[in-house]
């Protein structure tokens, strides 16, 4: 078996059917199997997928384990020389699987590769090309040339001689050598959603290069989920679940000092974001206490981060999944 394709189902049967239809239409030159791991067997609509694609190997999870743990379950039973982690909300437009297979066979220095994401309208989807580019976005600082210069100096870009090499691969399409899973154990079991691909990439990168190829692309539809961010602003760039996972990644990969630095930064910014907005309101001649909704959301999200402080600081075992009452994005979505 050349490739094992692993897809996670969470109430997205039609998306999976569309995805698999595109895989069957465009994939050639490789033998492959499809493994679907269902995180919600009772409500996932898995019967629809099995009728449309009876060749699929199906795994029912006992509970909603999130992205990483479910993928690990699929990789454990996979038979392929390579493992392709593919999101349910993706579509292939050409033989990208065969191209990745050929490229990986030619380039033994690569442990895993990814494909570039495109929106459904054909425009490229932006992504972070390095760990430090991602880390710089965590800091809520005033936009200015001087500030950018200082932050870039503190968190510089890596200098790779290989133009295809990057720090990490997006989990929506990860083409991994089997030994990459066997030697690392796959995704960390602490991550529920978001950040797990970044953290695993850090460990995979110790085994070989992580590469994107310009001629390898796919469409990512970005299916909605209850943890997606809402009310995006300069100070609220990430969803609550995403930020809990991001901070866990920083703690695991960069240590206690970098994690505490981020926590202190978010606490310190509370009076700053309020003061800036109130001053702005006064200059407009209005009530200084008006239009503070964005600031209130920021404080609520920061409180959630603080709830996970000790657990993250000491890297306590367990799934870092926020509680319903901590999902500030969902709670404020219609407010």
Dist. CA 182–CA 38, nearest whole Å: 22
Are 191 and 62 members of one domain? Answer: yes
Question: What's the token pair of residue 34?
Answer: 């499809």
Decide if 150 is inside a domain. no
Residue (of 242, 237, 234, 244) closest to 306 by Cα position:
244
Are 53 and 116 members of one domain? Answer: yes
Are 182 and 110 members of one domain? Answer: yes
Give the CATH number of the domain where residue 181 resides: 3.90.550.10
Range(s) of the domain holding residue 267 = 240-331
Are 290 and 188 members of one domain? Answer: no
What's the pLDDT score for residue 214? 92
Are 72 and 114 members of one domain? Answer: yes
What's the pLDDT score for residue 280? 87
Dist. CA 200–CA 188, nearest whole Å: 7
Query: Are the CB atoms for 302 and 270 separated by under 8 Å?
Result: yes
Are 124 and 64 members of one domain? Answer: yes
What's the pLDDT score for residue 225? 62
Q: How many domains is the chain built from?
A: 2
Dist. CA 48–CA 294, nearest whole Å: 41
Are 190 and 90 members of one domain? Answer: yes
Decide if 228 is inside a domain. no
Q: Write down the H helix ranges in the chain.
A: 13-26, 46-52, 66-77, 96-106, 131-136, 145-154, 178-184, 196-204, 240-254, 256-283, 293-307, 309-313, 328-331
Decide if 88 is inside a domain. yes
Decide if 45 is inside a domain. yes
Choosing from 187, 220, 253, the residue where a domain stops is 220
What's the pLDDT score for residue 233? 80
Decide if 146 is inside a domain. no
Dist. CA 183–CA 188, nearest whole Å: 13
Are 271 and 320 members of one domain? Answer: yes
What's the pLDDT score for residue 44? 84
Are 48 and 188 members of one domain? Answer: yes
Are 39 and 182 members of one domain? Answer: yes
Decide if 279 is inside a domain. yes
Are 302 and 180 members of one domain? Answer: no
Per-residue pLDDT tens, the chain, 335 aa: give them.
Answer: 999 999 999 999 999 999 999 999 999 999 999 999 999 999 889 999 999 999 999 999 999 999 999 999 999 999 999 999 999 999 999 999 999 999 999 999 999 999 999 999 999 998 888 999 999 999 998 878 898 899 999 999 999 999 999 999 999 999 999 999 999 999 999 999 999 999 999 999 999 999 999 999 999 997 666 556 666 787 888 999 999 999 999 999 999 999 999 999 999 999 999 998 889 888 888 888 888 899 999 999 999 999 999 999 999 999 999 999 999 988 888 65
């Amino acid at each position: 078996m050349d490739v094992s394709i692993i897809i996670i189902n969470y109430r997205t049967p039609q998306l999976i059917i569309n995805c698999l239809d595109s895989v069957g239409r465009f994939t050639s030159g490789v033998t492959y199997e499809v493994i679907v791991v269902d995180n919600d067997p009772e409500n996932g609509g898995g019967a629809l997928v099995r009728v449309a694609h009876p060749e699929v190997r199906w795994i029912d999870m006992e509970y909603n384990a999130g992205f990483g743990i479910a993928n690990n379950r699929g990789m454990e039973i996979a038979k392929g020389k390579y493992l392709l982690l593919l999101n349910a909300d993706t579509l292939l437009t050409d033989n990208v699987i065969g191209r990745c297979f050929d490229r990986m066979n030619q380039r033994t220095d690569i442990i895993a590769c990814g494909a570039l994401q495109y929106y459904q309208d054909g425009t490229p989807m932006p992504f972070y090309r390095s760990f430090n580019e991602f880390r710089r976005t965590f800091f809520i600082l005033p936009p200015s040339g001087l500030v950018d210069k200082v932050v870039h100096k503190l968190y510089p870009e890596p200098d790779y001689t290989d133009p295809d090499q990057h720090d990490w691969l997006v989990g929506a399409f990860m083409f991994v050598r089997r030994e990459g899973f066997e030697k690392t154990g796959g995704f960390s079991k602490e991550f529920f959603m978001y950040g797990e691909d970044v953290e695993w990439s850090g460990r995979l990168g110790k085994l070989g290069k992580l590469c994107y190829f310009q001629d390898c692309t796919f469409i990512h539809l970005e299916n909605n989920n209850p943890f997606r961010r809402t009310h995006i602003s300069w100070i609220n760039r990430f969803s609550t679940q995403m930020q809990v996972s991001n901070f866990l990644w920083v703690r695991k990969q960069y240590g206690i000092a970098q994690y505490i630095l981020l926590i202190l930064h978010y606490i310190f910014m509370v009076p700053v974001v309020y003061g800036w907005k109130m001053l702005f309101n006064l200059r407009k001649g209005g009530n200084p206490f008006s239009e503070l909704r964005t600031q209130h959301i920021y404080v609520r999200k920061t409180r959630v981060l603080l709830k996970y402080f000790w657990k993250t600081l000491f890297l306590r075992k367990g799934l870092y999944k926020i509680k319903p009452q901590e999902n500030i994005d969902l709670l404020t979505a219609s407010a």
